[in-house]
Structure 1
Amino acid sequence: MKEILAVVRMNKVSATKKALIEAGAAGFTATKVMGRGKLVEDKSIIAERRKTLLALAQKDDQTTDKMITEFLDGTRLFPRRMFNILAHDEAVPKIVSAIIKANKTEYKVGDGKIFVLPALDAVRVRTRESGDAAI
Structure 2
Amino acid sequence: MKKIEATIRSSKFDDVKEALHRIDIDYFTFFEVKGVGKEKTPEGFYRGAYYDLGSIPRIMLELVVPDDLVDKAVESILSSAKTGDIGDGKVFIYDVLSAIRIRTGEVGEAAL
TM-score by length of 2: 0.84
Deviation string for 1:15-50 (max 9, x for gaps)? 11111111222510111111123x26xxxxx8xxxx
Cα distance, 1:87–1:26 mapped onto 2, change above 3 Å: farther
Which structure dedicates a bigger proportion of its chain to strand?
A: 2
Secondary structure at the counterpart of residue 88 of structure 2: coil
Aligned counterparts of 1:106 and 1:118: Cα–Cα separation in 2: 28
> What corresponds to 1:85 in structure 2?
63
2:109 equivalent to 1:132 = yes
What pairs with 1:27-66 in structure 2 (closer than 5 Å)? 27-37=27-37, 39=38, 66=42
The answer to whether the 8 A contact 1:24-1:95 is kept is no
Secondary structure at the counterpart of residue 31 of structure 1: strand
Number of residue pairs matched by the alignment = 104
**Would you identify which runs of 4 or more consecutive aligned residues in structure 1 move more than 4 Å?**
none
Aligned counterparts of 2:90 and 2:71: Cα–Cα separation in 1: 15
Aligned counterparts of 2:68 and 2:33: Cα–Cα separation in 1: 28
Gaps of 5+ in 2: 45-52
Q: Percent identity?
A: 37
TM-score by length of 1: 0.70
Cα RMSD (Å) = 2.1
Larger Rg: 1 or 2?
Answer: 1
Which one scores higher on RCO, CA 8 angstroms, separation ≥ 6?
A: 1
